[in-house]
Amino acid sequence: MDGEVLILADPKGNAWGFAKRVYESLNSDPDRRVKYLLGEVEIKKFNDGEIFAKVLCNVRKKICFFIHDSSMGAQDWAISLMEVNDALVRSSAESVHDVLPYMKYSRQDRMTEPRTPISAGILARMIGMEADGVITTDLHNPATTGAYRIPFDNLKAYPTLIKYLLKNYPDFLQNLVVVAPDVGSAEMAKSYAKRLDCSVAITNKTREKAGVVGDMTVIGEVAGKNVLIVDDMIDTAGTLCKAAGILREKGALKIWACATHGVFSGEAFCNIDGSCFDKVIVSDSIPQGDCGRIEVVSLVGLFAETIGRISHGRSVSELFL
């Protein structure tokens, strides 16, 4: 894939700083064979609310990586993504790669009841019409990649988050148990525990309805240990905060949470502020402001390395061996 590679983003959106740092990281690589450029995309609304997108640079015969703003509302995010893809194809881009640090609609990945859509599949068909590849991080259900018929790189954030913990909080890790907040997070918890050389516990929950957690029990020993609860995302933080309270009752010492995507919807910040958590760590897959006890770890290096590997025809999976 040797040639000119464009890193594109909306300079007025929250992804611009991320895209600019990716571009700077790529150009700092002395072994690069391709020329990396930084380009601008305009995304705005007409008075009636319709989205308008325009590519503000020449993309003809260029390999384009469009880094989208994960902080946008879901509907605006999806429509603007389709419009940018269409604009790039119509402008004779050599290839179009959607870089989506947080993939919206990925949670609606199956029919949970009759007569409901599989929204993740709808999005896959829409993206696949014009994009040539997708890069994202920690899909809610990795099986969603099967809905795509184009190259799809579902990156894992945990090595970056673990590296941050090892560098900044070695004392916390000395007496640690990793906790999965539900069975679905067990594999991620095992990945953390393997690299941190510690044991795993699981909190088992029942849901009264969507977004409302019922009873919760702990499977595993947490008494007298520091606890790191890991998950792919934190939404309202209801599950995590209830888990933290149960773990404190079971004798846990310091209680931290670590997640890839900080969605933080509804009363999330209030829930966290009133919880037993000492610290909450998330990545910048969704841009975050200054949030008190919440710390943000950047995935710029991970995405820059991935884009560099793709543009040089090298393996991406080797990053996670």
Q: What is the pLDDT of residues 252-261, one digit of tens each?
A: 999 999 999 9
Phi-psi sector, 251: left (phi>0), alpha (psi -120 to 50), beta: left
Tell me, what's the pLDDT at 212?
54
More confident residue, 209 or 276: 276
Q: Examine the domain organization and report whether 167 and 304 are in the same domain.
A: no
Tell me, what's the pLDDT at 215?
74
Tell me, what's the pLDDT at 289?
79
Q: Single out the catalytic residue among 190, 205, 254, 279.
A: 205
Q: How far apart are CA 237 and CA 254, in angstroms?
A: 18
Confidence of residue 93 (pLDDT cuts 50, 70, 90): very high
Tell me, what's the pLDDT at 321?
75
Q: How far apart are CA 19 and CA 8, in angstroms?
A: 7
The torsion of the CA quartet 184, 319, 235, 198, rounded to 10 degrees, works out to 60
Q: Examine the domain organization and report whether 23 and 136 are in the same domain.
A: yes
Residues in CB range of 24: below 8 A, 6 or more apart: none
Q: Examine the domain organization and report whether 85 and 178 are in the same domain.
A: no
Q: Examine the domain organization and report whether 226 and 114 are in the same domain.
A: no
Q: Examine the domain organization and report whether 143 and 190 are in the same domain.
A: no
Cβ pair 42, 54 in contact under 8 A: yes
**Mean pLDDT for the chain overall:** 93
Q: Examine the domain organization and report whether 117 and 41 are in the same domain.
A: yes
Other C-beta atoms closer than 10 Å to the C-beta of 194 total: 13
Q: Examine the domain organization and report whether 123 and 191 are in the same domain.
A: no
CATH code of residue 44: 3.40.50.2020
The pTM for the full model equals 0.94
pLDDT in tens, 200-243: 999 987 655 555 555 788 999 999 999 999 999 999 998 899 99
Q: How far apart are CA 22 and CA 38, in angstroms?
A: 10
Average pLDDT over every residue of 149-163 = 97
Handedness of CA 313, 19, 141, 218 (dihedral sign): positive
Confidence of residue 25 (pLDDT cuts 50, 70, 90): very high
Q: Examine the domain organization and report whether 279 and 304 are in the same domain.
A: no
Told to judge if 45 belongs to the known catalytic residues of this protein, a careful annotator would answer: no
35-45 and 176-180 as β-strands: parallel, antiparallel, unpaired? unpaired
Confidence of residue 292 (pLDDT cuts 50, 70, 90): confident
Tell me, what's the pLDDT at 30?
81
Average pLDDT over every residue of 118-146 = 96
Tell me, what's the pLDDT at 169?
97
Query: Residue 42 pairs with which residues in a beta bridge?
Result: 54
Q: Is the pLDDT of residue 14 over 80?
A: yes
Q: How far apart are CA 55 and CA 8, in angstroms?
A: 9
Q: Examine the domain organization and report whether 10 and 151 are in the same domain.
A: yes
Q: Examine the domain organization and report whether 111 and 208 are in the same domain.
A: no
Specify the number of domains making up the chain. 2
Domain range for 16 is: 4-155+300-320
Q: How far apart are CA 133 and CA 60, in angstroms?
A: 18
Cβ pair 255, 244 in contact under 8 A: yes
Average pLDDT over every residue of 32-38 = 90
Residues in CB range of 144: below 8 A, 6 or more apart: 103, 106, 109, 120, 124
What Cα–Cα distance (Å) separates residue 52 from each residue in 59, 82, 99? 18, 11, 19
Phi-psi sector, 245: left (phi>0), alpha (psi -120 to 50), beta: alpha
Q: Is the pLDDT of residue 89 over 60?
A: yes
Q: Examine the domain organization and report whether 208 and 68 are in the same domain.
A: no
Q: Examine the domain organization and report whether 131 and 168 are in the same domain.
A: no
